[in-house]
Chains A and B, each alone.
Chain A
Amino acid sequence: ETGVTQTPRHLVMGMTNKKSLKCEQHLGHNAMYWYKQSAKKPLELMFVYNFKEQTENNSVPSRFSPECPNSSHLFLHLHTLQPEDSALYLCASSPEQGARGTEAFFGQGTRLTVV
């Protein structure tokens, strides 16, 4: 248990569906992140939130829409995805932005399949 919880663990959605991924941490961390891992590729940063404010958007298409209502919760809203968006989506948190000098804590991820 890392203290970062992601739901759901698995999700299958059609290209016209709207779904949301949820991430929750009660570690008192101020920074939260969404990462994507596609097959045979490194973990790729998508978004960074620091004190509920988005500080990084790594050129992510608008069909992915993040939301951070408070420092403990992070959502990733999904709309009109493509099959190539199928991947493992990982949430992470750290005490300060960038995990500078301290480790990041990860959830177990959501395995997303777009059909």
Chain B
Amino acid sequence: ILNVEQSPQSLHVQEGDSTNFTCSFPSSNFYALHWYRWETAKSPEALFVMTLNGDEKKKGRISATLNTKEGYSYLYIKGSQPEDSATYLCAFINNAGNMLTFGGGTRLMVKP
């Protein structure tokens, strides 16, 4: 059983605040780490797929880093907006696996 943990479980911030959250995963046999954004009543949508240690990816105000040796990834949101309110999921796949294992998600609420 692969253990993928996300913290915090939920986060309330004010509009304009910058925030970050963590995904930790097994460091052995790493293949890829995915980040998804899931708005209420919509489908989860991919933000990033990361495969290389030290990778940094950016999409607008959202960026992510990856450390495969220690088994963690950070997701950063700069200048949070109310429309960033969603659940952010990370998912891990190792070399031996054929399926994504998801963490429990971080629920972000941004107050105007």
Contact with A along B31-53 (1 / 0, CB 8 A): 11010100001111110010100
Binding site for B on A (CB under 8 A): 2, 4, 33, 35, 41-43, 45, 48, 50, 55-56, 90, 97-109
Alpha-carbon distance A104/B42, docked complex (angstroms): 15
Binding site for A on B (CB under 8 A): 4, 31-32, 34, 36, 41-46, 49, 51, 89, 91, 93, 97-105
Find chain B residues with CB under 8 A from A104 CB. 34, 46, 91, 100
Find chain A residues with CB under 8 A from B44 CB. 90, 106
Find chain A residues with CB under 8 A from B42 CB. 108
Query: A106 and B34 in contact (CB under 8 A), knowing A42-B4, A42-B105?
Result: no
Find chain A residues with CB under 8 A from B104 CB. 41-42
B102 — nearest CB in chain A belongs to which residue? A43
Find chain A residues with CB under 8 A from B41 CB. 108
